[in-house]
Structure 1
Amino acid sequence: MRLIGYVVDGERHIGAVQGNQVTPLGTMAGFYSAAPENRGRPAGEAFDIEDVTQIPPVPEAARVFCVGVNYHSHAEEAKTLVDFERPAYPTVFGRWAQSLVVDGTPISIPPNEDGLDWEVELAVVIGSSGWNVAEADAEEIILGYTAFNDVTARRKQMETPQWTVGKNADGSGPIGPVLVTRDELPDVNSLRVTTRVNGEIVQDANTKDLVHKISEIISYISDTITLLPGDVIATGTPSGVGIARTPQWLMQDGDEVVVEVEGIGEVRNPIVSRKP
């Protein structure tokens, strides 16, 4: 299935997309609390996708676990910036679900930033609770995968050793355009990921280059934090980020960024200024 989130009368819902038609599958809360075998049951008549306001296809209470410096190419790139060695363990930091937005949503540059940076990522959405999950069993708790752009306020990120503020600018986490269930993406360890800014390819890599594979990340997190249905794991970005370029290139008011993950689709967002 290919899933989207949407709002009806102020309540969050989820549906399965086929072409321009959406088959409702119930409320977001009901979907993620249901047993996995009950999640594909229609909960009403299909409707046109243009008839609803889309939202991220995860619960409002979802945790977003991001993994930093998790492509070999980006690890080499990071050395030139902060003398950051390739991590022996997944470098996990958090985002708030409130920072997530969907395709087409304008992303605002905070007033004290020189611009915003791009980071294409493959994201995992958890389908079943998991504690102390072995790597061999990790796939069993995955609902599916989506594309994510970890748009970053670099000044705030670099001012302290803690990345939280720079990674949580308002509305800076585009996700989508759909959540593809894992049965439709059997080999996520070989997917092309790209970023285009104003039509120019700035990142072009493959998930083969991940330092820590998805199963390892799930196992690493879950022996300490129980993963819950709807949680998101963003698996890291490859080389090509704007801050590592000479000269540095950060997105400005009027720019457009498009991230794409093979088999999932693209998420396109305009960049706008935000003044006090």
Structure 2
Amino acid sequence: MKIVGFARPGSAEVLVGELLDGAVRPLTSLAEFWAAPRRWAVPGQPGDGPAVAVEEVELRPVVPPSARVLCIGLNYRAHAAEGGFTPPEFPTVFGRWTASLTAGEVPAPVPQGEDGLDWEGEVMAYVAEDLADADPDSARAAVLGYSTFNDLTARRAQKLTAQWTLGKNADRSGPTGPLVTADEVGDLRDGLAVRTRVNGETVQDGNTRDMVFDVGTLLSLVSRTLTLHPGDVVATGTPEGVGYVRNPPWLLQPGDVVEVDVERLGVLRTPIVDAGGRKGA
């Protein structure tokens, strides 16, 4: 089952719906969905009105405003190596604000003073139940589903200090795809292809088997410190092939289109624009 957030024309209310073939079947409000996600994430669940064409609504992230967005750095062995790092003993965890998240096709602007944005194609995991001091198996079973994610990064801002927060929270820099329920995705340890393309050219070609820490281990570790709640999300890291390590560096410019293509999750497409919203030459 594929699940999306959306808003009707002229309305600020975010609803949740089942994504069908070119249409969205409304289910309930975003708040009600995350109050009982297992109830709603069932195909054929009675909804809130007839299906509407995707073109008639504005897609939104299916993430509640209260969510903790936890991102994991250096979580693919080959990506750590390309940056000159050894795989960490413990996960490198940093946060995003929900305000940075968007849906597919929403233009991402290059911030003033940046030479461009860097791509980081990822898989995002969505928590369905409270987790406190959970073991890895219980934590893995608590995942409602997964989506594509692009951790678009402002490298200049990221490298100003040892803290990554600023460079990871640029406006509209966190596009997410539809949530695909875990029963359709399977165990990431078995391997999903994670690819990123820029203007049609493949720049990342990895597999979730290369993760240093799997989803269950990540959620278990986080839950020892803070209680996770339904709607919290974990972005599981990116494979090798990012732009800043290349010689010369290759960063996204206005007019570029970046796509994250994850096996069983689909393609997440994001056009890049300048800070004024222009697509470039």
TM above 0.5, yes or no, is yes
**Cα shift readout 1:132-173 (whole Å, capped 9, x = no counterpart):** 110121122111000000000000111100000000001000
Gaps of 5+ in 1: none
Q: How many residues align?
A: 271
2:23 maps to: 21
Once the two structures are TM-superposed, the CA of residue 197 in structure 1 deviates from its matched residue by 0.6
Secondary structure at the counterpart of residue 14 of structure 2:
strand
Aligned to 1:44: 49
Partner Cα separation in structure 2 for residue 35 and residue 101 of structure 1: 21
**Corresponding residue of 2:141:** 140
SS state of the match for residue 31, structure 2? helix
Counterpart in the other structure of 1:54: 59
Identity, in percent, stands at 47
1:7-26 deviation per Cα after TM superposition (whole angstroms, max 9, x unaligned): 13221100111212322110
Residue correspondence of structure 1 range 35-114 to structure 2 within 5 A:
36-40=38-42, 41=45, 42-79=47-84, 84-114=85-115
C-alpha contact 1:103 1:267 (8 A) present in aligned 2 = yes
- Alignment-derived partner of residue 173 in structure 2: 172
Question: 1:233-265: per-residue Cα shift (whole Å, max 9, x none)?
Answer: 000001100001011111111111111111011
Residue equivalent to 1:249: 250
Write the distance in 2 (CA, Å) between the matches of 1:251 and 1:49. Answer: 27
Which segments of structure 1 move beyond 6 Å, counting only runs of 4 or more? none
How far off is 1:195 after superposition?
0.6
CA contact (8 A) 1:4 1:17 kept: yes
Counterpart of 1:163, as a letter, is W
After TM superposition, give the deviation of residue 39 of structure 1 in Å.
4.6
Distance in 1 between residues matched to 2:113 and 2:238, nearest whole Å: 24
Rounded to whole Å, the distance in 1 between the matches of 2:73 and 2:56 is: 37
Partner SS, residue 240 of structure 2: coil
Which stretch of the first structure deviates more once superposed, 114-123 or 181-190?
181-190
- Separation in 1, partners of 2:52, 2:260: 27
Q: Determine the C-alpha separation between the residues in 1 that align with 2:116 and 2:29.
A: 37
Structure 1 87/53 Cα, relative in aligned 2: closer, same or farther at 3 Å?
Answer: same
Q: Deviations over 1:73-120 (max 9, x none)?
A: 0110121xxxx3311011100000100011111110111111110000
> 2:33 pairs with 26, 31, 52, which one?
31
Deviation at 1:36, TM superposition (A): 1.9
Unaligned runs of 5+ in 2: none
Distance, in Å, in 2 between the alignment partners of 1:12 and 1:4 is 10
**Alpha-carbon distance, 1:275 to partner:** 5.2
CA distance in 1, matches of 2:170, 2:66: 18
CA contact (8 A) 2:27 2:40 kept: no
- Larger strand fraction of residues: 1
User: What SS does the aligned partner of 1:242 have?
Assistant: coil
> Would the alpha carbon gap of residues 110 and 38 (structure 1) be closer, same or farther in structure 2, given more than 3 Å must change?
closer
Measured on the aligned residues, the alpha-carbon RMSD in Å equals 1.4
How far apart, CA to CA, are the structure 1 residues paired with 2:41 and 2:208? 28
State the alpha-carbon separation in 2 of the partners of residues 122 and 35 from structure 1: 19
After TM superposition, list the pairs within 5 Å mapping 1:204-215 onto structure 2. Answer: 204-215=205-216
Cα distance 1:38–1:74, how it changes in 2: closer, same or farther (>3 A)?
closer
